[in-house]
Amino acid sequence: MDKIVRKIYDYAMKVNNNGVDSKVSEEIRKRVGDAIIVAYGARNSEPVRIERKTLLPSKGPMNSSILFQKEKAPLETASFINGSMVRYLDYNDTYLSLEALHPSDNIPPVLAVCESLGLSGKEAIKGITVAYQVVCSLADAVSIRNRGWDHVTYVSVSSAAGIAAVAGLKEEKFENTLALAINNNISMRQTRAGELSMWKGCTAANAGRNSLFAYSIANGGFTGPSDIFQGEMGFFKQVSGQFDLDLNKDRVLKTMIKNYPVEYHAMSAAEKTLDLKPKVNAPIQKISVETFDVAHRIIIKDPEKLRPKTKETADHSMPFIIAYCLAHGEPTPEAYSEQYLRDRKILDLIDLMEFTVTDRYNKMYPESLPFGITISTSKGTVQGEMNAPKGHHKNPYSWEDLSNKGRKVMGPDKAKEIINLARSLEKLEISDLMEATYSVTA
């Protein structure tokens, strides 16, 4: 067995046999609740409507539920639609390291296979934990962003691991699931370059879909390429370079729930700008921002970030997010609608901005999320700094924080129902969880 696959398999078996620590279980349950909340907010988004129109109705030998509607579809289709809902608003959780990514992209495919196999929430928590640990350990091991590959490539590995673990696959089928999931699912970073498209919010869902397909045929006896990481033309050689995988360090507690629907590197920017907004009581003349290199490369440097034309580009634009906060207050999913992309107040504020990458902030990232801003007005300056916004692992979300987020997205009654389901996930069947989402449909 490939040495990296062996490490993942051994870790998955350890989790299956020993269970999940109570603190980790609680955080996984929060993230399942968070994923359903943000999925609700995206249920009628244009990409999800296109997916439902073009992919449904459909039935296969193994089916699972589409969130918020009384319809089932083959595992791959259901997970793709649900995963697009979870990811599209850019409101689901984040992990920051050498590679930045969204661990909860793994939740829809694991829930899909759990539902189809009649498994419990307790088993789902194990599978999701395996996926979280694998994807975050990959993010810690090596960055593939500068090699031209998207972080979603890692979701191909982790979702396959979580699926294979929860399905209880033994060595050979486990290895074939990972090999089949990885070999043809290397994602190009062009997804997040230039003007961003709908695919930015749905490509991780596609990785989960492909992992479910790999699981289905591997479970039936289909074989995949050997030595998928360390082979002559394997992952090390073609994609990442050599690395090792440390699955012993607990990473779930360092994943971070989003407080606003913004690309996570702009989270401190949004929160601190909102904090300073009431103190700005004169016309703004200049906005000076201090940041770090990764944020500059991902959400600042491209000219498209100064004049975003799509929702997908705007929620990945620190200049737009800062300007929106100053002009209109707290960003919501509606902040990226056409009227705001053309808003003269926002565009004029963007033109007043200058960004500086500092060595101090580079050294603080990724353990902290540093941001500094000085707003110069005709009556003086207002300035501030932030390192750990609400939801950061140094300032983590409580259940009450998650309830507040849920109330913003879906209203108090529906949020309460989802939070109660998430808190009691260990006692539920996954089929009951999925069916319960029907009742919160608007």
Which two tokens mark 237?
């050689």
pLDDT band of residue 332 (cuts 50, 70, 90) is very high
User: What does the pLDDT read at residue 286?
Assistant: 98
**216-228 mean pLDDT:** 98
β-pairing, 284-291 with 63-65?
unpaired
pLDDT at 411 exceeding the cut of 70 = yes
**345-352 mean pLDDT:** 98
pLDDT band of residue 219 (cuts 50, 70, 90) is very high
Helices 3-18 and 121-141 meet at what angle, rounded to 10?
150
pLDDT at 29 exceeding the cut of 80 = yes
Which amino acid type is present at position 357?
A: V
Q: How far is CA 78 from the centre of its chain?
A: 18
Q: What pLDDT digit, counting tens, does each position of 282-322 carry?
A: 999 999 999 999 999 999 999 999 999 999 999 999 999 99
* Contacts of 409 by beta carbon, 8 Å cutoff, 6+ apart: 37, 38, 40, 41, 91, 333, 415
Q: List 356's β-bridge partners, or say none.
A: 290
- CATH architecture, domain 3-259+404-440: Orthogonal Bundle (1.10)
Distance in angstroms (rounded) separating the CA atoms of residues 324 and 335: 8
386: nearest Cα among 400, 365, 405: 365
**332-344 mean pLDDT:** 97
Dihedral angle of Cα 230, 95, 26, 212, to the nearest 10 degrees: -50
Q: Are 43 and 83 in contact (CB under 8 A)?
A: no
Domain 264-386, CATH number (from 3.30.160.40, 3.30.450.40, 1.10.357.10, 3.30.1330.120): 3.30.1330.120
**39-47 mean pLDDT:** 97
Distance in angstroms (rounded) separating the CA atoms of residues 111 and 82: 10
pLDDT band of residue 440 (cuts 50, 70, 90) is confident
CB atoms within 10 A of CB 339: 8
pTM: 0.96
pLDDT band of residue 439 (cuts 50, 70, 90) is confident
Q: List 353's β-bridge partners, or say none.
A: 287
**165-171 mean pLDDT:** 98
Mean pLDDT of the chain: 97
* Contacts of 159 by beta carbon, 8 Å cutoff, 6+ apart: 105, 106, 109, 110, 131, 181, 207, 208, 211, 212
User: What does the pLDDT read at residue 441?
Assistant: 65
* Contacts of 80 by beta carbon, 8 Å cutoff, 6+ apart: 51, 55, 202, 205, 206, 208, 209
Q: Where are the domains of the chain?
A: 3-259+404-440, 264-386
Question: b vs e for 281-300, b when ≥16 Cβ sit within 10 Å of the residue's Cβ?
Answer: eeebeebbbbbbebbbebbb
Dihedral angle of Cα 84, 86, 92, 94, to the nearest 10 degrees: -50
User: What does the pLDDT read at residue 319?
Assistant: 98
pLDDT at 226 exceeding the cut of 90 = yes
User: What does the pLDDT read at residue 84?
Assistant: 98
Distance in angstroms (rounded) separating the CA atoms of residues 57 and 224: 30
Q: Are 390 and 401 in contact (CB under 8 A)?
A: yes
Q: Are 355 and 371 in contact (CB under 8 A)?
A: no
Q: Where would I find the H helices in 147-279?
A: 152-166, 171-183, 203-219, 235, 267-276
- DSSP for residue 208: H
**28-47 mean pLDDT:** 98
Distance in angstroms (rounded) separating the CA atoms of residues 314 and 321: 7
Detail the DSSP E strand segments found in 61-174. Answer: 63-65, 72-74
425: nearest Cα among 126, 120, 132, 168: 120
pLDDT at 418 exceeding the cut of 90 = yes
**111-140 mean pLDDT:** 98
pLDDT at 442 exceeding the cut of 70 = no
Q: List 188's β-bridge partners, or say none.
A: 149
Distance in angstroms (rounded) separating the CA atoms of residues 235 and 398: 38
